[in-house]
């Protein structure tokens, strides 16, 4: 009896994973309006450059939600990257022609102008 229950639970788990792993049959989210992040004065003085990597869910309205920092730079740039992503607008992902919430990994680059003499890449 217990063996049958374990098999049934495993079958349901595998079925649910396969259902969630189905690719989008339409389009993935596509950013239609991006906002450039601002440098913090601390990061500018320290001449920090690099990329902040964020995870977000793009809602059916095209707005980023549940934003998390995956790779940080510090110096206040992570906060500026999140603020910038909140201003972005995207076309939502589509599954069978219907807008759906979709996960996304977004890279927000921070680069100093070419006139900066010495740079520190992180």
Question: Which burial class, exposed, middle or buried, applies to 74 when counting CB atoms under 10 A from its CB (0-12, 13-18, 19+)?
Answer: middle
For residue 97, is it within any domain?
yes
For residue 11, is it within any domain?
no
Q: Cβ distance 122 to 109 under 8 Å? A: no
For residue 18, is it within any domain?
no
For residue 6, is it within any domain?
no
Worst-scoring range by mean pLDDT, 15-19, 41-45, 51-55?
A: 15-19
Backbone phi, psi, residue 95, to 5° = -125, 115
For residue 44, is it within any domain?
yes
Confidence tier at 69 by pLDDT (50, 70, 90):
very high
Range of the domain at 57: 25-121
Q: What is the pLDDT of residue 122?
A: 61
- Residue 19 β-bridge partners: none
Nearest alpha carbon to residue 37 among 81, 74, 86, 87: 81
| Total domains, the chain | 1
Average pLDDT over residues 1-21: 50
For residue 20, is it within any domain?
no
Q: What is the pLDDT of residue 3?
A: 56
End-to-end Cα, the chain, rounded Å: 57
For residue 89, is it within any domain?
yes
- The CATH number assigned to the domain holding 35 equals 3.30.2420.10
Average pLDDT over residues 95-122: 81
For residue 17, is it within any domain?
no
């Amino acid at each position: 009896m217990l063996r049958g229950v374990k098999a049934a639970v495993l079958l349901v788990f595998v079925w649910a994973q396969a259902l969630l792993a189905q690719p989008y049959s339409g389009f993935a989210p596509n950013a239609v309006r991006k906002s450039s992040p601002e440098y913090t004065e601390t990061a500018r003085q320290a001449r920090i450059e690099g990329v902040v990597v964020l995870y977000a869910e793009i809602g059916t309205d095209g707005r980023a939600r549940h934003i998390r920092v995956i790779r940080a730079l510090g110096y206040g740039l992570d906060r500026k990257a999140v603020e910038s992503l909140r201003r972005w607008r995207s076309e939502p992902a589509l599954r069978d022609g219907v807008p759906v919430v979709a996960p996304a990994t977004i890279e927000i680059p921070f680069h100093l102008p070419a006139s900066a003499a010495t740079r520190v890449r992180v």
